[in-house]
Amino acid sequence: MGEINVAQRTVHIVDSDALHRRDLAQLIRQQGLDCHPFAASADLADALGYLPAGCVLLAWRTPQPPAQATPIAGEEEGPGPMVRAVLSQRPEMAVIVMAVSPTIPQVVQALRAGAVDFLEMPVQADALRPVLEHGFSILPARVAQQQRVGQATALTTQLTPREQEVLRGVVAGLTNRAIAERLRIGVRTVEMHRGNIMQKLQMDNLAALIRFAVFTGVLDQGLDAA
C-alpha cells in the first residue's frame, strides 16, 4: 500500500477536466497526502501566495483548435509558460506537468522550464507514487534555498544605489582604484562604501561577499550599466 510516510504533505492540482481532477485528488488522498484541486491556472495563481509549499501537478491540455484556425500556429505551444508562471511566484514548489500522450519536445520544454518531473494522463497510481516521492524528496532543499535567497535579497535592498555599484565592481574583480575611476569618485570613498557594504550584508571577508553577490544575482545586472 506504499504510503508516503510523512504527514502534512500537500499536493496542489490544476486540471480543467473535472473527472480526471476528481480521480487524481482521490488517488492523492489515498496516499495519505493533502490535496488542493483547482480547475484553472488563474485560480491557483490567486491562491499561490498563501499555499503551503508542496508538489504542484499541472495538467497541460491542448486547447481544441477552432474550426478555421491556422494549423501551424499552435505547433510550438507547450507547457513551458505554465510552469514558469508558477515558479515565478513560488520558486520552491516542485512542479510536475501532466499531459495526454506527451511528445518528447513537450516533456523537454516542461523540464527545461523548471518542472521536476512529468506524468502521463490519465495518471495511474503506480506512476504517481514514485514521481511524488521524487518531488517531496527534493522539496526541503528547495524551500531552504528559497529562504536563503529571500534573506539575502532583503539584505541587498538595504544597500544604496551607489553601494550596489561598488559591490558590482568588487565582484567583477576591479581594484578600488578602477572602481573609483569608473564611478568618478575618490578611492577613499570607495573604501568607505566597501566597509559599509560588508557591515550591512554582515560579511567579514571578501570571499563571503563575492559568494553572496553571485548567489543573489547582483552580477546579473552587469557592470556597464554603472
Partner 1 sequence: MRPKGGATVQHWLYASNCAVAPAWAGPTVEALVAHAALRNAECGLSGALLFTGQHFIQALEGPATALAQMRSTICDDVRHTHIMTLAEGTLPHRRFDGWALAYAGASVYLADQVRTAMADGAPALLSLLQAFARPLPGANPGCGQHRAT
CA distance 57 to 51: 14
Q: Establish if 165 lies at the interface with partner 1 (CB under 8 A).
A: no
Q: Does 176 bind partner 1 (CB under 8 A)?
A: no
Q: Whose Cβ is closer to partner 1: residue 101's or residue 157's?
A: 101
* Of residues 37 and 78, the one with the C-beta less far from partner 1: 78
Cβ distance to partner 1 smaller for residue 130 or 186: 130
Answer for the pair 39, 64: CB distance below 8 angstroms, yes or no.
no
Beta strands of the chain (E only): which ranges?
Answer: 10-14, 34-38, 55-60, 94-100, 117-121
State the number of CA atoms in the 13 A half-sphere of 76 facing the CB.
Answer: 1
Single out the residue of 116, 139, 166, 180 in contact with partner 1 (rule: CB under 8 A).
Answer: 116
Task: Kindly give the pairing relationship between strand 10-14 and strand 55-60.
Answer: parallel
Mask: binding to partner 1, 60-79, rule CB under 8 A, as x and -?
Answer: ----------------x-x-
- Residue closer to partner 1 by CB (options 131, 167) is 131
> Should residue 87 be labelled a site residue for partner 1 when binding is judged by CB under 8 A?
no
Q: Which residues share a beta bridge with 60? A: 99
143 binds partner 1, rule: CB under 8 A = no
Binding residue for partner 1 (CB under 8 A) from 44, 119, 123, 209? 119
**Interface segment toward partner 1; rule CB under 8 A; list 11-19, 21-29, 103-111, 203-211:** 103-111
Number of Cβ within 10 Å of residue 124's Cβ equals: 11
Of the candidates 108, 114, 214, which has an alpha carbon nearest to the alpha carbon of residue 167?
214
Out of 28, 82, 95, 131, which residue is the one contacting partner 1 (CB under 8 A)? Answer: 131
Stretch that binds partner 1, among 9-17, 50-58, 101-109, 175-183 (CB under 8 A): 101-109
- CA angle 182/183/189 to nearest 5° reads 120
The strand pairing partners of 119, in sequence order, are 98
Minimal distance, residue 83 CB to partner 1, in Å? 12
Query: Is-contact 29 68, C-beta < 8 A?
Result: no
Among 4, 45, 85, 138, binds partner 1 (CB under 8 A): 138
**Residue (of 205, 207, 215, 77) closest to 146 by Cα position:** 215
Residues at the interface with partner 1 (CB under 8 A): 76, 78, 80, 104-105, 107-109, 111-112, 116-120, 130-131, 134, 137-138
